[in-house]
Structure 1
C-alpha cells in the first residue's frame, strides 16, 4: 500500500512504532541491525511535532533501543510490555517471574546447536533460530515444556524467534497504559508493527478507535498494510511539517 493510502499522522496522533522489521530491517543477529542515517532525525522531528506523543513498542531491551538511536531517548515499551519508560522518563516494570527453567532450557539448546542465538533480557528472553530454521519444531517443543514448569510466563512465536515473556503484559497493555498519560491521552492512537507479536498492539489501538498498520506480509487484524521498512520510512518522513511552517499552520493541517 503506498504511503499516501496509510493513515495520516496529524497533530492529534499518538504514534506507536515497533522497531525490528518496522523501522529497521531484521538482521542476521540482533546486534547487527543497521539503523538508516535519517531514522533518528525523523523520529526526533516527529516526536517534537507531536509534542512528545511518539513511543517505541518493542520486544527489545531498553538499552538496545537507546543504543541504536543515541542520543535520542524516546518513551518506550520494551520486552513486550514488561517495562515501560513514560514521557516523564520514569521506568515502570512489571513484577519479575522465575526465568530459571526457560533460561536453562534455552542455554541447553544453544550449547547443543551453535546456530541458535539467545537474548537474555531483564524480564524475558528470546531464542532465535534464523540460522537454523530446521530446528524450529525442536525449539518450540523444548521451550513449551520449560514454560509448563514455570509460573507467570507466556510463549510467543515470531519471525524465526521464540519469545518468553511475562503473562498479563503485552504490547497492547503497554499502549493502553500510555494512552492514559500525557501527552498521549486524548489523541488518536496509531501503531505500526510487522510481526504476530504486534497483534496485541493492533487490537489495543483498534479498540481505542485508532489505526493499525501491518508492515510486510502475513495475516493481521490491522486495517492498513505497508510493504516494508523503506515504505515505512517514506510514510514517516511525509508526515513531517516543513520548518518554515508556523505552529498554527501545522496544527490546522
Structure 2
C-alpha cells in the first residue's frame, strides 16, 4: 500500500466520509468539532471540480447539516447511502427497513441499564455508540445481532466504538456507483477517502472504476493509499487546491 497519491486531478470526482476522515473522532457524535476552514475548503474544492464533490457518510442530514452548512450546498449520501441528495436538490431514499424497531428497542434497553452508551436514531438506520464504555462492545454487538437474527433485510455493521443496524442492500459503494452515473460525476476519475470498515465498499467501487481509495488512519483495508489522520488528508486536499490555483 502506498501513501497519499499525487495531488487531486482536475477531472476527479471527490467523495469524502466525515467522521474520522475530515474531522477527528470524539467521545460522542455531538462532540465532534468541525476543523477551522473546513467548510471553506469544501466550497473551493466543489467549485474547482465543477460540482463533482459529495460527502458520503453514516450520519443523517439533520445531524450533519447544521455542523457544516445550511442550506446544504453539496451532493451527499447520508446514512451509508440510504438517503442520497443530488446537486439538483432531489432526494433519493430507501424506506425505513422492516424490523428496525426491534433493534432500536433492544438498544434502548441496553442504554437504560448501562452508563456510557448512546443510541443514535436515524431515518433508515440506528447506531449504538460505546466509546465511553468499551467493555460493553461484545454485549452491544450480541444484543443487536439477536434482535435482527430473523430479519434478512437488515445488516449489522461494526465500526469504531459503534455498532449499527441498516438495510442490507445499502452501502457507500452503491451510493458512489449511483453518483458516478450522473452529472457532474460521470466520466471523471473517482477518489474516495474514508477511515472505517463501513467505507470498504466505497473503496471497492472507486478502485473497480479505475479510481483511488484512501484509508485514513490505521487498520486493515482494501484501499491502495493511506494517510495517518484527518489533518493529513485535509492538508493534501488543501495542497491540491493550491496547486490548481497556481497552475498557469
Please indicate, yes or no, whether the TM-score normalized by the shorter chain is above 0.5: yes
Stretches (4+) displaced over 3 A: 241-246
Q: Distance in 1 between matches of 2:204 and 2:244?
A: 35
Aligned to 2:94: 94
Q: Is the 8 A contact 2:22 2:234 kept in 1?
A: yes
Question: TM-score scaled to structure 1, two decimals?
Answer: 0.93
- What does 1:193-208 align with in structure 2 at a 5 Å threshold? 193-208=194-209
> Which residue in the other structure is 2:19 paired with?
20
Equivalent positions of 1:134-213 (< 5 A) are: 134-213=135-214
Task: Give deviations 1:27-68, integer Å, cap 9, x for gaps.
Answer: 111111111121000000000000000000000001222111
Q: Secondary structure in 1 aligned to 2:193? A: strand
In structure 1, distance between residues paired with 2:211 and 2:217? 20
- Counterpart of 2:62 in structure 1 is 63
SS at match of 2:241: coil
Structure 2's unaligned 5+ residue stretches are none
Q: Distance in 2 between matches of 1:118 and 1:215?
A: 25
1:214 matched to 2:215? The reply is yes
- Rounded to whole Å, the distance in 1 between the matches of 2:243 and 2:170 is 38
Cα distance in 1 for partners of 2:6, 2:216 equals 13
Aligned-partner Cα distance in 2 for 1:156–1:53: 28
Task: Report SS of the residue matched to 2:92.
Answer: strand
Q: CA RMSD in A?
A: 1.7
CA distance in 1, matches of 2:161, 2:203: 21
- The whole-number CA distance in structure 2 between the counterparts of 1:244 and 1:100 is 50
Note closer, same or farther for the CA distance 1:244–1:182 as it changes in structure 2 (3 Å cut): closer
- 1:142–1:48 Cα change, 3 Å: same
Q: Determine the C-alpha separation between the residues in 2 that align with 1:7 and 1:110.
A: 45
Cα deviations across residues 131-174 of structure 1 (Å, max 9, x unaligned)? 11111111111000011133421000000100111111100000
Cα distance, 1:245 vs structure 2 = 5.2
SS of 2:23's equivalent?
coil
Aligned partners of 2:166 and 2:86: how far apart in 1?
A: 20
Q: How much has 1:73 moved relative to structure 2?
A: 2.2
The answer for the alignment partner of 2:5 in structure 1 is 6
| Aligned positions, number | 246
> Any conservation in 1 of the 2:83–2:91 contact (CA below 8 Å)?
yes
SS in 2 for 1:240: helix
Change (3 A) 1:7 1:162: farther
Structure 1, unaligned runs of 5 or more: none
Q: 1:242 to 1:141 in 2, by over 3 A?
A: closer
